[in-house]
Amino acid sequence: MTDWGSWEFALAGGLIGSGFLWLAAAAAQPNAARNGNMCFLTYGWPVKIITASLIPVAVFVIFVMAHAPAKQIALAFVFSAAFLAVTIAINYQIFFVRFGYDRNRIYFHSPFCEARSVPWENLESAGHSYIAQADYIEVTGVGRIWCPSVLNGHDEFGRFLEQKAGALIASQS
């Protein structure tokens, strides 16, 4: 009988997951999608496929949790709830949140927040989260906008942001 809890399977699972993320980041296009002068950062099909595949995995995890031994039900519930919450959050971010920019404004839309368009002067800060492994910008009137490296246009946005931040700092001096 196979011991699914052995270190070999844990290592293989980690390597496979890391491989999927590496492929998703490698498949990201360096340039953003354009609509006139506006640039939109979008997720490519590899990221969307990987993300959508989390849904049946979450259903399977819940099924396994429902059949856990009585002594392990609390731990199984916590793990299943956390996995389901992460699955919902990631799918929400990838399929429903939209982010774009041009030389003058930042554009943001999500189902829980109406479409917003704010000037670049509302940019408060930019940073990187080592926990989420993603870049972000903080914008007054919008909040934190996540920009992971798997976004199409991430590289172009990074270069644009460096120039824009330099210009904003120079104009405030």
Query: pLDDT tens across 18-57, in order?
Result: 888 788 878 888 888 999 999 999 999 989 998 999 999 9
What distances in angstroms separate CA 166 from CA 38, 112, 136, 161, one per listed residue? 20, 32, 17, 8
Contact assessment for residue 128 and residue 117, using Cβ atoms and an 8 Å cutoff = no
| CB-count burial class (<10 Å; 0-12, 13-18, 19+) for 151 | buried
Contact assessment for residue 152 and residue 31, using Cβ atoms and an 8 Å cutoff = yes
| CB-count burial class (<10 Å; 0-12, 13-18, 19+) for 156 | middle
Q: Domain ranges in the chain?
A: 30-172
pTM of the shown model: 0.78
**Euclidean distance between CA atoms 97 and 1, whole angstroms:** 45
Mention every residue, 6+ apart, whose C-beta is less than 8 A from residue 140. 118, 122, 124
Predicted pLDDT at 109: 93
Query: pLDDT tens across 66-113, in order?
Result: 888 889 899 989 999 999 999 999 999 999 999 999 999 999 999 888
Is pLDDT above 80 for 168?
Answer: no
